[in-house]
Amino acid sequence: MKSLYLLIDLFTVSIPFLFSFHSKLKFYKYFKPFFISNFLVAAIFILWDIAFTSRGIWGFNPDYILGIYVFNLPIEEILFFICIPFACVFTYHCINLFFKLSWEPETETIVVVVVCIGLLITGLYFRHKSYTALTFISLSIILFAFKFLIGIDWLPKLVRMYPLLLVPFFIVNGILTGTGISTPIVWYNDSENMVIRLLTIPLEDVFYGFELILLNVFFYEYFKGENKNMG
């Protein structure tokens, strides 16, 4: 049981990593932009994680981790911020290869504005709950900035593929939060969230996960473009 969290990380990344070398996918060519972007984003989320862990907003069950800590976080938690984004950006890469996903510009604008307002209102309403407030408000600001200040053109692709990513998300996050096991690997202080659960998963995790992937894809697209320019 001590290795369960590690096994979840390795299982999540193993198949995407192996298929990265498939002749039709060739994701290995983009390892450099991915790992540069992932390093930047992981650093942000690890700092977030350290702060929340130190305040008891969430924590880790020692029964399911090896006991190796980095910055007061289990090594498995550090790996989480590498393995999960790798699998998700790999999926994003594959969908880009085989499908053309887009919205009409007017539709995209309306959706982003409505979502940003909804996130901001929710975050402010639950401002006394740290996990809810930080997740919803930060995602609202980032979405608004990416759409209206930076002008990214790939947001519809990510939004339309996210429901697909939610399938493995519910499996992985479900196990981490206690689905199918006697006690959760990652526990949450319910005084700091909305106490709305999808099975055992806090609702905030859906938006936290989207923010994690959104930032990884943003920097991945940026550094991939830089890589092409240098080539």
Tokens 């539709």 sit on residue: 107
Of the pLDDT bands very low, low, confident and very high (cuts 50, 70, 90), residue 105 is confident
Could you tell me the CA-to-CA distances from 141 to 40, 107, 109, 175, 211 in Å, in that order? 18, 19, 15, 30, 11
User: Phi and psi for 192 in degrees, rounded to 5?
Assistant: -110, 10
The whole-number pLDDT of residue 226 equals 63
Answer whether residue 230 shows pLDDT above 50.
no
The whole-number pLDDT of residue 225 equals 82
Question: Computed from CA positions of residues 208, 209, 214, 217, in that sequence, does the dihedral angle turn out positive or negative?
Answer: positive
The whole-number pLDDT of residue 227 equals 54
In this predicted model, which residue has the larger pLDDT, 118 or 227? 118
Could you tell me the CA-to-CA distances from 147 to 47, 105, 110, 195, 208 in Å, in that order? 25, 11, 11, 30, 18
Residues contacting residue 226 through CB under 8 Å, at least 6 positions apart: 33
Answer whether residue 156 shows pLDDT above 90.
no
pLDDT tens-digit map of 180-194: 999 999 999 999 999
Answer whether residue 107 shows pLDDT above 60.
yes
- Of 1, 17, 32, the residue nearest 227 (C-alpha): 32
Of the pLDDT bands very low, low, confident and very high (cuts 50, 70, 90), residue 1 is confident
- pTM comes to 0.94
Mean pLDDT calculated for residue range 69-83: 95
Q: Are 37 and 222 in contact (CB under 8 A)?
A: yes
Mean pLDDT calculated for residue range 143-149: 95
The whole-number pLDDT of residue 106 equals 83
The whole-number pLDDT of residue 2 equals 92
Mean pLDDT calculated for residue range 197-214: 96
**Mean of the per-residue pLDDT values of the chain:** 93
